[in-house]
A and B are shown apart, each in its own frame.
Chain A
Amino acid sequence: MLGYYVRMAWKSLRRTPGLTALMVSGIALGISACIVTLTVYHAMSSNPIWWKNNVLYAVTLDPWGASHRSSTYRGPDLLTYRDATYLLSSRIPRRKTLLTSIEGALAGAPDQHRPLPVNTEATTADFFRMFAVPFLYGGPWSAAADAGPDPVIVLSRHENEKLFGGIDSVGRTLLWNKRRFRVVGVLDHWNPQPRFYDLTANGGGAFARPANTFIPFQWGPTLQIWPSGTMECQRTGPGSSYAQLENADCGWIAMWVELPDAAARRHFLAAMNAYAAEQRSAGRFQGPLNNHLWRVGAWLRLHHVVSERSRLLVALSFALLAVCLTNTVGILLAKFLRTAPLAGVRRALGASRRQIFAQHLIEAATLSVLGAALGLLLGVGGLKGVRVLYLHSNNAYGKLAHFDALGIAWALALAVLATLLAGVYPAWRAGRVAPAAHLKSQ
């Protein structure tokens, strides 16, 4: 029966090619706009480490109090050196890490003449396991290397390809800022979007690529290299020497902890608050307690990673789809009323109302499937267009506009939606045709 209905639908659509083209192109344009905006929106709002959402926490400590700020102020994102190193000594978290970015220069690879500027993440060994960073060769450095600090370096896959042509470079030495470092690991492809662990990268913000080199955190203080990322200072500046920076009221270190359960979370927060209270009585902290542990999802929401703009564009695409579907409803209605005599004859020959309804609904479904298929093609093209448009921009839109399996799922879902919205009412009207009226006048 289904095959027969599809054949009838096909015939009916071929009878009025102009109207069919109009309906299909409308549905296709609406669906393609939805695919483009939904793809980007989904990528933006995704939590790239969702499976660890209940154990990973960003740590924020507010030394200055909310007194002179708005009541919604949640404190600075970054910790001062003193606070970060104190909290890192806590034994409560299962894993814990500090991170800060440094501009580095890499040299000493075969056939390399000039030092290459690199973004370096100064962090601790736990970083890699906490954030489930995949390794192609080797692995993270040891906890002992953190304390040394040992001259060890981890390269991104891309950096390893650039410097060593992609071979297993573990054990080789490189000059990082003119100092010998031993390669202990090479990452596999790793580009969490958004870059949840550090949303404030220069040029790229929440959707920047991860750093291309990683070294133990203590190298910053040891070599006295100033951090190159965001620094938020209160009153006095960072000072002129690194020793002054270490004691300054300037936040420049991000801290993450892995707390296995609610009890650990409570313990750690209590330890943070106890430390803050102690610092307040020593005169260093001011204002009420304003210390927090943020889950990844909450952290992304706090920083408005999903812009209202992208939500708006999704709404706009659905408005377009709505207008196009309304159009289709009107055209189908007119068409089904015009072919009512045919339905009348079929009813008279014994077709039930339900069968007439099914037949007409399948015609609408055929339209929607054609529209969705065309919309999928347009959507792929549209995403390419978006990438070209945003080629020279730091905006996330271009970076995230990649067609994936989800696009096909969206197209299918929207086709079903289109069938239901555009087809049900006209098909129902067609099913209610009284056969007698149409038989008489023939």
Chain B
Amino acid sequence: MRTHLHPLLSALQRNPTGAVLVTLQVAITLAVLVNAAAMVGRAITRIAQPSGLDTSNTFVMVIGGITKQFNVARAVSADLAYLRSLPDVTAATVTTGVPLTSDGFQEPLGRRSDGHGTTVAADLLPVDEQGLRALDVPLVAGRNFRTDEVAPQSSGHPFHDISSIIVTQSVARALFPHGHALGGTVYINGGQPLTIIGVTRDFMGPHLSGSAYNTVLLPTIVTQFGFYDLLVRTRPGTLESVLHRAKRHIGATHANGMIVYTPTLTGALRRLHAGQRNLVVFLAVITSIMLTFCCFGIFGLNTFNVGSRTKQIGIRRAVGARKGDIVAHFMLENAIVLTAGLLLGALLSLAIGQWLTRHDGMPRLGPAYLLAGMLVLGLVAQLAAWQPARRAARVPPSVATRTV
């Protein structure tokens, strides 16, 4: 089986329009395919990032005061006593902020009292001694807050009358790169010195921009803003019933307060990932439509070529070409057009990738995505040319003897 390039190239040269069109299609399709795959990859990585929380069994009740007479400290202790008396409540704590929703305090946390040097943007969750259990985050070092360490806020600043802090491993690593975070001293926005008494496994706080796991726990109950968030973890399968009971009871308890809303962490997580998930759907739909039409284009070009060269194929068969030669001819012709398209598409992919890096914060387009994309598109496109090539091979040599 021998195939010469010369007749192929001259055939392409005599009628280049179809080949040029297919080249363009392949180039655009490759560029979209490669960059879409990279974006989908990144979105999936983000969605798959563990929250470190017991999302399916946890809800939050945001309670707000209606008048200045609303006594937060007293309301909190009444609500917590009620919640902890429920058999299906594993743990309950009070905080300011709702994990995964961008609702909460965020302040720079660093090792210097003047606020200079390395800082991390830390999510600050004030909790009581049940905080760790309610959040379902285990300590990897140190200890939990003692009951006598937790006190309702007494001074003007929500975090100025405390002296201990529990941080995640991410925070510990960022501020103490050489270890020894436990027992170390840190400052919130240059405030009071705080001693790290515990280090927990990583978990997500309210704010997820930057590093998602820069979360710290503080032993206090913030009272000055007139509202608080009850974070309740329930036994598996009982969240709905506990939420229903708690809403009825607590909603009727406070004369000067009300339940503002009651987000579940499952809902928060779903809202959080909605954008990424929908981007994946959108990209998958557009890319597969594009790939399908690109294949139609290749199939169409080859079908047209076979149809318009029936006589020539017959002549070649009559002078000795085998069926395999004819198939090889069309497959090779397709491969040449395809290669041109893939090379042009690779350049286009890199250009688009660079634009995305600059404007959309995408990481640099990895060569693996590009190579995989070229391989996949190349294979699919060759498959699309297979049927027309087979049909060409079925043209009988007798065609050469007929006059059209």
- Provide the bound-state CA to CA distance between A394 and B271, in Å: 7
- Provide the bound-state CA to CA distance between A323 and B115, in Å: 55
- Nearest-Cβ distance from residue A101 to partner chain B, whole angstroms: 13
- Provide the bound-state CA to CA distance between A441 and B275, in Å: 62
Does chain B have a CB within 8 A of A129? Answer: no
Does chain B have a CB within 8 A of A67? Answer: no
Contact residues of A between 158 and 200, Cβ < 8 Å to B: 177-179
- Provide the bound-state CA to CA distance between A403 and B356, in Å: 29
Query: Given A114-B251, A117-B64, A319-B290, are A333 and B17 neighbors across the interface (CB < 8 Å)?
Result: yes
- Nearest B residue to A19 via CB reads B300
In the complex, the answer to whether B25 meets A327 with C-beta atoms within 8 Å is: yes
In the complex, the answer to whether A308 meets B290 with C-beta atoms within 8 Å is: no
- Provide the bound-state CA to CA distance between A202 and B190, in Å: 27
Does chain A have a CB within 8 A of B67? Answer: yes
- Among B103, B189, B275, B297, which residue has its beta carbon within 8 angstroms of that of A235? B189
In the complex, the answer to whether A319 meets B32 with C-beta atoms within 8 Å is: yes
In the complex, the answer to whether A239 meets B156 with C-beta atoms within 8 Å is: yes
* Complex interface bits, B258-273 against A, C-beta within 8 A gives 1, otherwise 0: 1111000001001100
CB neighbours of B271 from chain A (8 A) = 392-394
- Nearest-Cβ distance from residue A112 to partner chain B, whole angstroms: 13
Contact residues of A between 21 and 37, Cβ < 8 Å to B: 22, 26, 29, 33
In the complex, the answer to whether A316 meets B32 with C-beta atoms within 8 Å is: yes
CB neighbours of B275 from chain A (8 A) = 393, 395, 397
Majority SS at the chain B contact face = helix
In the complex, the answer to whether B260 meets A389 with C-beta atoms within 8 Å is: no
CB neighbours of B260 from chain A (8 A) = 103, 117
- Nearest-Cβ distance from residue A227 to partner chain B, whole angstroms: 9
Does chain B have a CB within 8 A of A317? Answer: yes
Does chain A have a CB within 8 A of B76? Answer: no
Give the total number of A-B pairs whose CB atoms are below 8 A apart: 139
- Nearest-Cβ distance from residue B370 to partner chain A, whole angstroms: 17
* Complex interface bits, B128-160 against A, C-beta within 8 A gives 1, otherwise 0: 000000000000000000000000010111111
Stretch of A218-226, A276-284, A346-354 lying at the B interface: A218-226
In the complex, the answer to whether B300 meets A331 with C-beta atoms within 8 Å is: yes
Q: How large is the interface on B (under 10, 10 to 19, 20 to 34, 35 or more residues)?
A: 35 or more
- Provide the bound-state CA to CA distance between A117 and B66, in Å: 9
In the complex, the answer to whether B28 meets A323 with C-beta atoms within 8 Å is: yes
Stretch of B193-201, B222-230, B389-397 lying at the A interface: B222-230
- Nearest-Cβ distance from residue A38 to partner chain B, whole angstroms: 14
Query: Given A105-B66, A114-B251, A117-B260, are A326 and B24 neighbors across the interface (CB < 8 Å)?
Result: yes
Query: Given A319-B32, A334-B300, are A308 and B103 neighbors across the interface (CB < 8 Å)?
Result: no
- Nearest B residue to A233 via CB reads B189
Does chain A have a CB within 8 A of B274? Answer: yes
In the complex, the answer to whether A334 meets B304 with C-beta atoms within 8 Å is: yes
Contact residues of B between 303 and 330, Cβ < 8 Å to A: 304, 308
Can you offer 21 A-B residue contacts whose CB atoms are under 8 A?
A22-B296, A26-B296, A33-B286, A117-B64, A177-B66, A203-B103, A228-B227, A235-B115, A240-B155, A312-B360, A319-B28, A319-B31, A320-B286, A320-B289, A326-B24, A326-B297, A330-B297, A392-B271, A395-B274, A395-B278, A397-B278
Interface residues of B (CB under 8 A from A): 17-18, 21-22, 24-25, 28-29, 31-32, 36, 64, 66-68, 101, 103, 115, 153, 155-160, 189-190, 224-227, 251, 256, 258-261, 267, 270-271, 274-275, 278-279, 281-283, 286, 289-290, 293-294, 296-297, 300-301, 304, 308, 356, 359-360, 404
